[in-house]
């Protein structure tokens, strides 16, 4: 079993699609073992995305991520990091495969509905950014 950190981005909460995206997650046999709806501060967004701080879109990305509430969640399943990335689809929804969350829900390359950890190591770091072990129930 492996855990991954998922974020439902502000375009999802704004359009009232939390349940629709969660249905995709659960249908793919990933378990939502922790979940919280929060409003990120600019400082938190900048810290979470620090790895992207030198990219041209860093400022825009952080502004977008604080433009409304997000839902942070821990997903569990076999090979969950890779399987969730596949379910999410390509960063740019125009390139995302049919049936993926981004293909069906994303508004743009920026407002692309979901975040998922890109490695097991990063998942551990990203989960601990938002959750204490006592808040995660298998």
Q: In the complex, which residues of this chain contact ligand GDP (CB under 6 A)?
A: 52, 57, 60-61, 91, 109-110, 112, 115, 118
Q: Look up 115 and say whether it is catalytic.
A: yes
Contacts of 35 (CB under 8 A, 6+ apart): 71, 72, 73, 74
Which is closer to ligand GDP, CB of 79 or CB of 135?
79
For residue 50, CA distances in Å to 43, 60, 88 come to 10, 13, 22
Pick the catalytic residue from 4, 115, 116, 130: 115
Distance from C-alpha of 67 to C-alpha of 64, rounded to nearest angstrom = 5
Shortest approach of ligand GDP to residue 15 CB, angstroms?
16
Helix (H, G, I), strand (E, B) or coil at 21: helix
Which is closer to ligand GDP, CB of 54 or CB of 133?
54
Shortest approach of ligand GDP to residue 36 CB, angstroms?
20
Which is closer to ligand GDP, CB of 76 or CB of 118?
118
Q: Where does residue 79 fall: left (phi above 0), alpha (psi -120 to 50 degrees), or beta otherwise?
A: left
Shortest approach of ligand GDP to residue 95 CB, angstroms?
10
Q: Which residues are catalytic?
A: 115
């Amino acid at each position: 079993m492996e855990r991954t950190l998922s974020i439902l981005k502000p375009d999802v909460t704004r359009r009232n699609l939390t349940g629709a995206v969660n249905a995709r997650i659960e249908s793919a046999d990933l378990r939502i073992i922790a979940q919280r709806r929060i409003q990120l501060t600019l400082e938190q967004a900048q810290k979470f995305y620090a790895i992207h701080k030198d990219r041209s879109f860093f400022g825009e990305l952080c502004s977008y991520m604080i433009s409304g509430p997000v839902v942070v969640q821990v997903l569990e399943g076999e090979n969950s990091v890779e399987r969730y990335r596949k379910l999410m689809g390509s960063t740019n929804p125009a390139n995302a495969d049919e049936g993926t969350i981004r293909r069906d829900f994303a508004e743009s390359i920026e407002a692309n509905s979901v975040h998922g950890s890109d490695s097991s190591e990063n998942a551990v770091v990203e989960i601990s950014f938002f959750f204490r072990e006592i808040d995660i129930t298998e």
